[in-house]
């Protein structure tokens, strides 16, 4: 930043004085955004026009006057500005220069894609050092903040299909880790909706039944898998793609209508018959030996079952285009654009790093 800032400041004493009165404006003149006429604003500075007018012409919010110059490690991006935000956000500047890039990015994106209240929440929660991401079946993509933004935006849109999938909506009193946890939980529901939706599993490999007092019930639809995952507090809600692609089928093991365990039956290599992949109690605890024996008795009682051939060698399920449009159309219309990170064509990139 400094060589370009110095080149602007040396042009006139009033430009140099911006380093004391409004450092962010000087940085914006050194690295102007598209659509800003740097030469025009520079001339206005030399003429001695008010800082409020200069800030408006340069696209720099006036509240950046109170930011320490050491935090300006990058050209100021688009930032929201209003009377609501102006007197609140100054209390939540980043604590150290190395946090400023993330802070600017979160406030800018939050204001652009959600609303100013969320931008203020970002200022509060991204001023501190980053927290560890939760462990899961897949690592969140670099677009994790986009999922967070979509979740926050849909939290206040109860008329939408995407809102119906939110278990915990955003509120300004949430801590950062709790917000990401709720947003990732919503992402799991999105995956189920986009892969299975209302289609479900038609061709069961095994017959429902009972053995040794245990009942074996198939999980055919996204609603059934979602209910199982929430009740058992496990990760089966992220299995929509393997179920939809025909790589696996899920079962609920119950006794007296009480959920005992979750069972995954799936393909193993090039074997033409299904195999028992997983059997887990609630919270993925290990199943006892007697339950394993009952599962094997029920499984072996089915006889030799030959798996149908996969329609494609690619075992990753295809996201449903109609569901994709129904989920995101309200956002596209409200923002009057289709962002590059949320295109018209379904993509896994918004959900996971692939």
6 to 1, 31, 33, 250, 287: CA distances (angstroms): 9, 12, 18, 64, 68
Q: What is the pLDDT along the chain (354 residues), one digit of tens a residue?
A: 889 999 999 999 999 999 999 999 999 999 988 888 989 999 999 999 999 999 999 999 999 999 999 998 888 889 999 888 988 999 999 988 888 989 999 999 999 999 999 999 999 999 865 544 444 444 334 478 999 999 999 999 999 999 999 999 999 999 999 999 999 999 999 999 999 876 778 899 999 999 999 999 999 999 999 999 999 999 999 999 899 888 999 999 999 999 999 999 999 988 999 999 999 999 999 999 999 999 999 999 999 899 988 766 556 678 889 999 999 999 999 999 999 999 999 998 888 743
* Total Cβ atoms within 10 A of residue 173: 7
Domain assignment of residue 262, yes or no: yes
Which residues contact residue 278 at a Cβ distance below 8 angstroms, ignoring those fewer than 6 apart?
Answer: 262, 263, 264
Domain residues for the domain of 19 are: 1-72
- Residue finishing a domain among 300, 317, 332: 300
Structure tokens given for 51: 């800082």
pLDDT of residue 142: 45
How many independent structural domains does the chain possess?
A: 2
Domain assignment of residue 21, yes or no: yes
- Residue finishing a domain among 72, 100, 120: 72
Residue 15 in contact with residue 45, Cβ under 8 Å?
A: yes
Domain assignment of residue 239, yes or no: yes
Residue 196 in contact with residue 240, Cβ under 8 Å?
A: yes
Tell me if residue 313 falls in helix, strand or coil: coil
pLDDT of residue 33: 83
Tell me if residue 277 falls in helix, strand or coil: strand
- Residue finishing a domain among 42, 72, 102: 72
15: nearest Cα among 37, 46, 39, 58 = 46
Domain assignment of residue 256, yes or no: yes
Residue 81 in contact with residue 120, Cβ under 8 Å?
A: no
pTM: 0.84
């Amino acid at each position: 930043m400094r060589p370009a800032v110095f080149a602007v400041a040396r042009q006139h004493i009033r430009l140099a004085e911006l380093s004391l009165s409004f450092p962010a404006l000087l940085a914006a003149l050194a690295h102007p955004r598209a659509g800003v006429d740097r030469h025009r604003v520079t001339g206005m500075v030399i003429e001695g026009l008010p800082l409020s007018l200069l800030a408006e012409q340069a696209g720099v919010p006036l509240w950046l006057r109170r930011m320490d110059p050491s935090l300006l490690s990058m050209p100021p991006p688009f930032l929201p500005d209003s009377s609501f935000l102006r007197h609140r956000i100054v209390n939540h500047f980043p604590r150290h220069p190395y946090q400023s890039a993330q802070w600017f990015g979160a406030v800018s994106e939050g204001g652009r894609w959600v609303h100013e209240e969320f931008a203020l929440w970002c200022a509060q929660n991204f001023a501190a050092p980053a927290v560890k991401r939760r462990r899961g079946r897949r690592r969140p993509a670099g677009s994790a903040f986009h999922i967070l933004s979509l979740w926050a935006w849909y939290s206040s849109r109860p008329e939408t299909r995407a809102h119906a999938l939110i278990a915990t909506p955003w509120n300004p009193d949430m801590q950062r880790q709790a917000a990401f946890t709720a947003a990732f939980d919503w992402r799991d529901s999105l995956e189920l909706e986009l892969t299975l939706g209302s289609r479900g599993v038609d061709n069961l490999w095994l017959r429902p039944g009972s053995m040794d007092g245990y009942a074996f019930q198939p999980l055919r639809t996204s609603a059934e898998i979602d209910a199982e995952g929430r009740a058992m507090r496990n990760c089966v809600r992220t299995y929509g793609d393997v179920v939809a692609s025909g790589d696996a089928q899920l079962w609920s093991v119950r006794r007296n209508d009480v959920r005992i365990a979750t069972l995954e039956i799936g393909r193993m290599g090039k074997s033409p018959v299904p195999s028992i992949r997983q059997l887990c109690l609630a919270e993925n605890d290990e199943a006892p030996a007697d339950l394993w024996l009952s599962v094997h008795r029920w499984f072996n009682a089915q006889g030799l079952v030959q798996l149908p051939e996969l329609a494609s060698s690619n075992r990753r399920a295809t996201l449903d285009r109609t569901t994709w449009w129904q989920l995101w159309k309200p956002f596209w219309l409200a923002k009057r654009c289709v962002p590059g990170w949320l295109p018209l064509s379904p993509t896994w990139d918004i959900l996971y790093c692939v």
